[in-house]
Amino acid sequence: MSNLNEQMADRYKNNFLKEIEEQAEMGEWVKMCMQCGLCSGSCPTHFHSGWDHPPQEIFMLIRAGKREEVLNSQGMYMCTSCYNCYVRCPRKVPVTHVMHGIAEYAYRIGRAPKAQPTLHLSKTFWTNATKYGRVNEVQLTQSLYFKDGIGSGIKKAMEMQKEALGLVMAGRLNPMEALGMGHKCKDVSGIHKMLAKAEELEAKNKAAKADTAGKE
Amino acid sequence: MAEMKTAAYLCKGCEIDKRVNVAALAKIATKEGKMALVREHDFLCSADGVALIQNDIDNEGVTHVALGACSRRAKTEAFNFPTVALSRGNLREGVIWIRPDTPDAQETTQEMAEDYVRMMCAEVKTMQVPAGNQKTGTIKTILVVGGGVSGMTAALEASKAGYKVVLIEKAAALGGWAAKLHKRVPTREPFKSPEDNGVADMAARIDADANIKVYLNATIAKTSGSPGRFKIDIAIESGSVVTEDVGAIIQATGFTLYDANKLPHLGYGKSPNVVDQAGLEALAKEAAASGKPICRPSDGQPVKSVVFVQCAGQRDASGEHLQYCSGYCCNVSIKQATYFKDSNPDIDTVVLFTDLRTPGNGEDFYRSAQNRGVIFSKGVVSEVTANGNTCTVQFKDLILNEDTAAEADLVVLATGSVPTSGPELEALADAKRAAESGTEETKNVVLQMMDKSVLNLDYRQGPDIPHFKHGFNDSHFICFPYETRRTGIYAAGPVRRPMDILQAQEDATGAAMKAIQAVENAGLGKAAHPRAGDLSFPTARLEGCTQCKRCTVECPFGAIDEDEKRFPLFNESRCRRCGTCMGACPVRVISFENYSVNTVGMQIKAVDMPDEFSEKPRILILACENDAYPALDMAGMNRNAYDPFVRVIPVRCLGSVNTIWITDALNSGYDGVMLMGCKHGDEYQCHFVKGSELGRYRMSKVYDTLKGMNLEIDRLMDMEVAITDMDTLPGKINAYAEQIKAMGPSPFKGL
Amino acid sequence: MTSVVATNQTILVVGGGISGMTAALEAAETGKQVVLVERNPYLGGRTVQLYRYFPKMCHPTCGLEINLRRLKANPRIQVLTMAEVTGITGGKGNYSVSLKLKPRFVNENCTACGDCAQAVQTEIDDAYNYNLTKVKAAFLPSIFAYPQRYVIDPSIVGGAEGEAAKAACKYNAVDLTMKEETVTLNAGAIVWATGWKPYDAEKIVYYGYDRFPNVVTNVEFERMADPRGPTGGKILRPSDGKEAKNVAFIQCAGSRDENHLRHCSRFCCMGSLKQTHYVQEAFGDEGKSTIYYIDIRAIDRFEDFYQKVKANPNVSFVKSKVARITQDKDGNPVCNGVNTEGYLRYATAHDLVVLAVGMEPEVKGVSIPAEVMSDSSGFVMADPANAGIFGAGCATNALDVNRAVQSATAAALRAIQVVNKVARAEG
């Protein structure tokens, strides 16, 4: 990964925008931004300390060729996919998707920060959901609660005890999931095969893209 | 002319008869007004009432009609008698609607109505039906000066309407700036791709048009005459002069680019790789012709990166460069950016701007450029430096809030336009004064300025259309964009106002409309805007003229020249009928058939003047008919009461107010005079541009006269009134009336 | 019955706003016969609903007065109000146009004395004031209304109030038997000057125009500033009548937005800059204006006006498209967003928010005769295929008044070219 990172840095020295357009999903929309700031102002998570650069600023940084600042940014991981920016953008830029695209790209080239909570959630969720083809909510919650250690995990679990019991009583949470039981999709191996195929295709696509970009 | 037979008609409708004694008014019309015929009617504007008047005109030989009814602004369709002289006494909006319906007010209300009846009778007897200007010119050919897109459009459009056109272009070919463009900004949906500049097609259509006669390499040596009969001396290539007779003129002389040499800090002149927008068009044309990409001038290598600097030497608040925005440059830079992106998407193309201005569908074009990968950055450029074959553009990125720089093979400066509008007339007049007994140097200044003249008008007031602001041949009218201060001469395109090609074509079509209208009306002896269709015109009793030249100097439209004996020479077709000359004339020899020193003077005299013990002061209001008079009218419609001691006379413009009216009024016992006119100065609202300003200047001299008469200067009050002042005006009138009452009666009363 | 004298050398002008009036007057003053059709009961269109014009800060009614005087003096123009075009057949040089005329219930006997309004109690929404207030069901649409004739609203016709209005009129001007009419007329050329309408602010959900009383539109603000408007010219906020001394202007409310209007409406930047003057005029140094903008488009010599406003310490500029309006406990609208010049987040309470809503073609969404070609935004296009129908003013593009008049003057010539050709052909 870090090798690819260096290659890209060399290849796109003066044209980070092009790198993003080619490598990040929906990256071709970055150039369409007119810097009105509606996305930045619409974002409900703006209060979070991790929000160093909102979308409109990230887009400008990309256009200014500020590769390091963008790849070091926490901004694109903060998105909660509320789609406020997406539906309001006067240029119809799919801001949410672009931000995810940039985050995914940064992750792919090994630039994602360690212990980034959104990233952790995303990875955990993915692993969990792909295991049985359906989310195991208890295990997912557990892994999130205990990510910072046993002590804080127990504390969080106690805090949420009432809500959890309520969900169980209402039949919305199956405690047996803790043991790996609970709902699964019918053809787990089938899902695994499909996902493997999708991954293979995507890798091929990305490799092809990187290849063409390299030929200039 | 038929013998004058007067008739007064008094309407009793709208409760006029309930509020005033109409029979008494009728008596006054007969006895004091000396009307040959006096009739009362219950509902004068009804079909029956109108028929009554028409019958008297047709069968009783009535030639002069005085209507005592509603305001002259009301019921105009009904009271339309074009064959007779018509005056209107405003008994409704001017009397009963502005007076309270109380027993206390009855006496003064009646007196007010009686005075308005006296005034309408006095006025109508001094009026004549305008016969129309006999010195008309019937030439309908349109002259277009300038063969760029604006001029070519004007010529083609006028021809299409069936008019002959003479087109003069100083260069060797038609096309102007547009011909130098590689392409033009898109004009149609989807507004994505630059279009052919269209010049060749237009030039071919002009060549093929039998209505259009073209002079290339030609300039105007002299323009004389007036609408309908201009004579144009054209200096042609051979050095000789040919003369063309035309009816109206469209000045479409375009612009030059702001001199980029004045922008050394932006690298112009320091590196061949810094060009202005025209320079880039030339490079693009060259590239297109050779089939090569656009190359940088320094070494002929293809451009790999380009930076556009918007507002170069424009929007400059310091006043050193252009203060205005040229309007078109954002779209042009976008277009030029597409030249690069369309040939090679890998060329780094950056536009640095502070406000990107792409109005209307320009927004689509802006988006299309972004889609091509053009980078737009909000930034202020501080410096462009050259380093070998590249340039560094230093700028502050306003979004990222940092000082930064961009490297580029080529830098394009959007420098904007400077109108080719001829010398500024006041500066020229000053220079001429300085040169009168001055040095060679001062004389050369005049020659240099005259060299810039476009029209070389032989008008008393100078050789070109007066400038409005920043050198443009524009007016300050929002509702009437074509009103220049030279009748029958219309500016079109970027000489009038900064504009793009599409707008210039629209503008030129509009100017062609106005020019056609001018020749049609000149031929009929009718006035042009804003008194369109007015058949009256000024005449002067030259035997009384003292050759003071005030009329020739003051006419806002340059209509009056001097003849060989130095008498004023009226060019009626240039006249807009504002009456400023009449107001200016100290010996009162200028008048119109239906508006004169007499038509107003006799009204002033007709008012009944109570003695100094009556406690009934009289205040004369001379109100601009365009704004102040309607405002008073609407105060009436709102039933806003005001003082019963005022008597209102509408005037065509404050500029037409002759000081004799003021001094006569004060001499004959009026206690105060109010002048109500439009705003003047830079933000003028006067429909005759300079009328209210000149009127006010003139009135400032009357204050000396008042002092000479031992009168308080407050007996004359000059008030700026807008048409919307209907709600505040009554209060202002009342306050002035109180002031006058406190001052006590005029010492001239009863003398 | 309404009679119209028209031939194939007549020019029909559809729309009696400033563009339509200009086209009609310019053509008539060149000697052409003109029929001017207007949907409202009065002429003047949207310009007369403005308090002042930029950049001169003069009054639209001043120019209207001149235009009306030109009109009254010109026998070549026939004006039909309360009329709409329902169909066009034929072609260049020989159109047949059908019109629907709504009844005014007041005939030409009307002296505008106002007795009918005195007699009527029913009130209806006052469209002239963008429904910010009510008006009697027998009304003169505005003090500048031309024709200067009252209108009886159909809602009281057939009832006691209608009869009361009729009884109050001494001149038999109230005619409750008037019916809708259909008129067909001939025309050689048509000028389509149907103007614009303000973009529907409710559609911009995050600005809460329909939820927050203190969020108004720029056209409503014009009425609020006008002494003849619903607040008597006092700038009072709708929720509690408090003086609105701290006013926010939100640019591009609808314009430059692919979810709403794709185009830039051109006039709104200057309009808001102008409206800061209203705030200054009303409250002096206590009046504060904030303009939230993407780009200030004060084009050509309007730049002077912008620079002057910019120099006013009571006006601030924030480069930002406001993301959302909320309301605080005192009923103040709060603008939330990010100043993109340096990424500065704000949540600023104002007394009043004015949405600078954009221009969309008046006829957008309304079925217009197929002969009138329009582009994807609904603006009338100059299409050579319709060589006898010409757009004018804001029906063709988002324009300010000056440019609309320019466009209308050009349209008048295009129409004249057609009828002149007809005249030449007919000798």
- pLDDT for residue A216 is more than 60: no
Whole-number pLDDT of residue C39? 96
Whole-number pLDDT of residue A7? 43
**Within-domain flag for C109:** no
Residues C397-410 have pLDDT tens digits of: 999 999 999 999 99
Who's near C410: CB < 8 A, 6+ residues apart?
B157, B506, B507, B509, B510, B513, C392
Query: Band of the pLDDT at A211, cuts 50, 70, 90?
Result: low
**Are residues A40 and C340 in contact, defined by beta-carbon separation less than 8 angstroms?**
yes
**Within-domain flag for C6:** no
Q: Which tokens hold the place of B559? A: 């209509």
Instruction: Residue A17: give its domain's CATH number.
Output: 1.10.1060
**Are residues A30 and A50 in contact, defined by beta-carbon separation less than 8 angstroms?**
no
The answer to whether the Cβ–Cβ distance between A32 and B370 falls below 8 Å is yes
Neighbours of A (≥3 Cβ pairs closer than 8 A)? B, C
Query: Band of the pLDDT at A11, cuts 50, 70, 90?
Result: very low
**Are residues B354 and B360 in contact, defined by beta-carbon separation less than 8 angstroms?**
no
Neighbours of C (≥3 Cβ pairs closer than 8 A)? A, B
Do A74 and A89 share a domain, yes or no? yes
**Within-domain flag for C21:** yes
How far does the CA of residue B609 sit from the closest CA of chain C (Å)?
A: 31
Distance CA B652, CA B538 (A): 13
Residues C170-203 have pLDDT tens digits of: 999 999 999 999 999 999 999 999 999 999 999 9
Residue of C nearest to B399 (CA): C341
Query: Can you tell me the mean pLDDT for C375-395?
Result: 86
How far does the CA of residue C315 sit from the closest CA of chain A (Å)?
A: 20
Whole-number pLDDT of residue A212? 54
Q: For residue C187, give the nearest of C16, C5, C29, C367 by alpha carbon.
A: C5
Do A37 and A98 share a domain, yes or no? yes
How far does the CA of residue B415 sit from the closest CA of chain A (Å)?
A: 23
B367: nearest CB among A32, A63, A66: A32
- pLDDT for residue C281 is more than 80: yes
Q: How far, CA to CA in Å, does C158 sit from each of B165, B496, C31, C41, C178?
A: 61, 56, 44, 20, 11
Last residue of a domain, which of A53, A82, A113? A113
The answer to whether the Cβ–Cβ distance between B377 and A57 falls below 8 Å is no
Distance CA B578, CA B470 (A): 27
Whole-number average pLDDT of chain C: 95
Do A124 and A70 share a domain, yes or no? no
Whole-number pLDDT of residue B475? 86
For tokens 């012709």, name the residue: B289
Q: What is the DSSP string of C71-114?
A: HHT-TTEEEE-SEEEEEEEEETTEEEEEEEE---SB-TT-----
**Within-domain flag for A216:** no
Whole-number average pLDDT of chain A: 85
The answer to whether the Cβ–Cβ distance between C338 and A37 falls below 8 Å is yes
Do C341 and C387 share a domain, yes or no? no
Distance CA C186, CA C7 (A): 5
Q: DSSP 3-state assignment of B199?
A: helix
Give Cα B29 to chain centroid, integer Å.
40
A88: nearest CB among C206, C294, C345: C206
Please indicate whether residue C62 or residue A123 has the higher confidence score (pLDDT).
Answer: C62
Query: Can you tell me the mean pLDDT for C408-419?
Result: 97
Distance CA B1, CA B454 (A): 45
Last residue of a domain, which of A68, A85, A113? A113
Give Cα C59 to chain centroid, integer Å.
15
- pLDDT for residue A13 is more than 50: no
Do A107 and A31 share a domain, yes or no? yes
Do C242 and C292 share a domain, yes or no? yes
Residue of C nearest to A91 (CA): C258
**Within-domain flag for C159:** yes
Who's near C427: CB < 8 A, 6+ residues apart?
none
B513: nearest CB among C303, C304, C412: C412
Q: Which of C21, C65, C360 to mutate against chain B (most B CBs within 10 Å)? A: C65
**Within-domain flag for C417:** yes
The answer to whether the Cβ–Cβ distance between C258 and A34 falls below 8 Å is no
The answer to whether the Cβ–Cβ distance between C343 and A41 falls below 8 Å is no
Do C369 and C323 share a domain, yes or no? no
Q: Which of B399, B401, B403, B409 to mutate against chain A (most A CBs within 10 Å)? A: B399
**Within-domain flag for A204:** no
Residues C34-58 have pLDDT tens digits of: 999 999 999 999 999 999 999 999 9
CB pairs under 8 A between B and C: 228
Of B700-704, C120-124, C386-390, give the range with the top mean pLDDT. Answer: C120-124
Query: Can you tell me the mean pLDDT for A72-83?
Result: 90
How far does the CA of residue B162 sit from the closest CA of chain C (Å)?
A: 7
Do A39 and A106 share a domain, yes or no? yes
How far does the CA of residue C70 sit from the closest CA of chain B (Å)?
A: 7
Do C70 and C213 share a domain, yes or no? no
Do C216 and C137 share a domain, yes or no? no
Q: Tell whether the torsion through CA atoms of A160, A162, A163 and A169 is positive or negative.
A: positive
- pLDDT for residue C80 is more than 50: yes
Do C88 and C125 share a domain, yes or no? no
Do C43 and C188 share a domain, yes or no? yes
Do A89 and A121 share a domain, yes or no? no
Whole-number pLDDT of residue A204? 87
Do A76 and A163 share a domain, yes or no? no
- pLDDT for residue C414 is more than 50: yes
Question: B400 to chain A: which residues are within 8 Å by CB?
Answer: 57, 60-61, 64, 66
Do A126 and A95 share a domain, yes or no? no
The answer to whether the Cβ–Cβ distance between B359 and C148 falls below 8 Å is no
**Are residues B232 and B473 in contact, defined by beta-carbon separation less than 8 angstroms?**
no
Whole-number pLDDT of residue A12? 36
All domains in chain B, ordered by first residue:
1-129 (3.40.50.960), 142-254+465-523 (3.50.50.60), 260-419 (3.50.50.60), 539-576 (no CATH), 609-751 (3.40.50)
Please indicate whether residue C367 or residue B400 has the higher confidence score (pLDDT).
Answer: B400
Do A138 and A171 share a domain, yes or no? yes
**Within-domain flag for C414:** yes
Q: Which of A33, A35, A62 to mutate against chain B (most B CBs within 10 Å)? A: A35
Neighbours of C384 (CB within 10 A): 7
A92: nearest CB among C259, C319, C337: C259
CB pairs under 8 A between A and B: 34
A41: nearest CB among C252, C259, C324: C324
Distance CA B706, CA B454 (A): 46
The answer to whether the Cβ–Cβ distance between A42 and C258 falls below 8 Å is no
**Within-domain flag for C329:** yes
Q: What are the average pLDDT values for consecutive 10-residue runs of chain B, which has 751 residues?
A: 88 96 98 97 96 97 98 95 97 97 96 98 96 86 98 98 98 97 95 96 98 98 97 96 98 97 96 98 96 96 96 94 97 98 94 97 97 95 94 94 93 97 95 91 95 96 95 92 94 96 96 98 93 93 95 96 95 95 97 96 97 93 97 96 98 97 95 96 92 93 89 94 95 97 90 68
**Are residues B395 and A64 in contact, defined by beta-carbon separation less than 8 angstroms?**
no
The answer to whether the Cβ–Cβ distance between C340 and A56 falls below 8 Å is yes
Question: B338 to chain A: which residues are within 8 Å by CB?
Answer: none
Residue of B nearest to A216 (CA): B346
Note which residues in 98-127 of chain A have CB less than 8 A from chain B: none
Do A17 and A108 share a domain, yes or no? yes
Do C266 and C355 share a domain, yes or no? yes
Residue type, B191: F
Q: Number of structural domains, chain A? A: 2
How far does the CA of residue A92 sit from the closest CA of chain C (Å)?
A: 6
Question: C307 to chain B: which residues are within 8 Å by CB?
Answer: 315, 317, 323
Do C91 and C137 share a domain, yes or no? no
For tokens 């009046």, name the residue: C287
A54: nearest CB among C324, C336, C343: C343
Q: Which of A16, A21, A34, A68 to mutate against chain B (most B CBs within 10 Å)? A: A34
Whole-number pLDDT of residue A57? 93
A interface toward C at CB cutoff 8 Å? Answer: 34-42, 46, 53-54, 56-57, 84, 87-92
How far does the CA of residue C138 sit from the closest CA of chain B (Å)?
A: 16
Distance CA B518, CA C286 (A): 50
Tell me the Cα Rg of chain C.
23
Whether the complex's predicted ipTM surpasses the cut of 0.95: yes
Residue of C nearest to A54 (CA): C343
The answer to whether the Cβ–Cβ distance between C294 and A35 falls below 8 Å is yes
Whole-number pLDDT of residue A215? 37
Whole-number pLDDT of residue C373? 83
**Are residues C195 and C394 in contact, defined by beta-carbon separation less than 8 angstroms?**
yes
Q: Number of structural domains, chain C? A: 3
E strand or H helix at C238? none
Q: Tell whether the torsion through CA atoms of C131, C135, C138 and C142 is positive or negative.
A: negative
The answer to whether the Cβ–Cβ distance between B626 and C266 falls below 8 Å is no
Whole-number pLDDT of residue A203? 85
Phi, psi of B561 (to 5 degrees): -105, -170
Do C85 and C149 share a domain, yes or no? no
Q: Which tokens hold the place of C173? A: 């001007």
Question: B74 to chain C: which residues are within 8 Å by CB?
Answer: 111-112, 148
Distance CA B466, CA C258 (A): 44
- pLDDT for residue A9 is more than 50: no
Residue of A nearest to B371 (CA): A32
Domain that holds residue A96: 2-113
C307: nearest CB among B78, B317, B359: B317
The answer to whether the Cβ–Cβ distance between B516 and C256 falls below 8 Å is no
Whole-number pLDDT of residue A10? 37
Instruction: Residue C32: give its domain's CATH number.
Output: 3.50.50.60
The answer to whether the Cβ–Cβ distance between A31 and B348 falls below 8 Å is no
Do A158 and A100 share a domain, yes or no? no
Do C355 and C367 share a domain, yes or no? no
**Within-domain flag for A31:** yes
Within C263-361, where are the H helices?
268-283, 303-311
Q: How far, CA to CA in Å, does B232 sit from each of B220, B424, B483, B495?
A: 7, 21, 22, 20
**Within-domain flag for C282:** yes
Domain that holds residue C139: 115-168
Do A68 and A166 share a domain, yes or no? no
Distance CA B359, CA B344 (A): 27
The answer to whether the Cβ–Cβ distance between B348 and A60 falls below 8 Å is no
Do C22 and C145 share a domain, yes or no? no
Question: C392 to chain B: which residues are within 8 Å by CB?
Answer: none
Residue type, C215: V
